[in-house]
Amino acid sequence: MNPIEWLEQTVPGFRDLPEEDRWAILHFALLWSLFEAKGLQTRASAQAILALVHERKAEGRLDAAAFQSSLAYFQQRYFVDGQFTDHFNGLNLRNNDNPALVKQVLSASNSDPADSVAALLIVIYRLRNNLFHGVKWAYGIQGQRSNFEHANNALICGLTQLVPSGS
């Protein structure tokens, strides 16, 4: 059976999910798995992300400006009028996800280029965990297209800049 047809028949709300949303999620799954394999040697964690980004900065291979539109999107989504939003709580940051750094970057109290890129990728890592561990399905995976589109753009930047040549 076609997996999309099966999802449409089985999962409430999936049939109503626009095709663009479906593509954004599919692209995210593919891009994340490639980023995790090539950039993080299949061992994704906030610490691995921080190490990778800071290593590339030290090598002069980090162009943080390329990530800026995605970072700005997530800053506006998760920090409004001096407060973290309910969407931020939905990231389900764990202690080992370096929540202090993520909060500093999203609230713009830390604008270090490497920290900013690392925090953005940690947010994307949390989107990955929430999708792959089922949290996003709890509400029918609706309203996620912009999240995944911005995550996809950042992952392409990450694959371009952060993954060692020849990987």
Domain residues of the chain, as ranges? 18-161
The whole-number pLDDT of residue 136 equals 60
For the chain, where are the alpha helices, taking DSSP H only?
3-10, 19-39, 46-58, 68-78, 86-89, 99-106, 113-132, 145-161
128: closest CA among 108, 111, 144? 144
Could you say which DSSP state residue 50 is in?
H
The whole-number pLDDT of residue 1 equals 87
Give the residue carrying structure tokens 């891009």. 31
As given in the structure block, the two tokens for residue 40 are 């993080």
Give the residue carrying structure tokens 């509400």. 139
As given in the structure block, the two tokens for residue 159 are 């694959």
The whole-number pLDDT of residue 112 equals 97
Average pLDDT along the chain, 167 residues, taken 10 residues at a time: 91 88 94 96 96 96 97 98 95 96 98 97 95 67 88 97 74
The whole-number pLDDT of residue 132 equals 84
99: closest CA among 84, 114, 111? 84
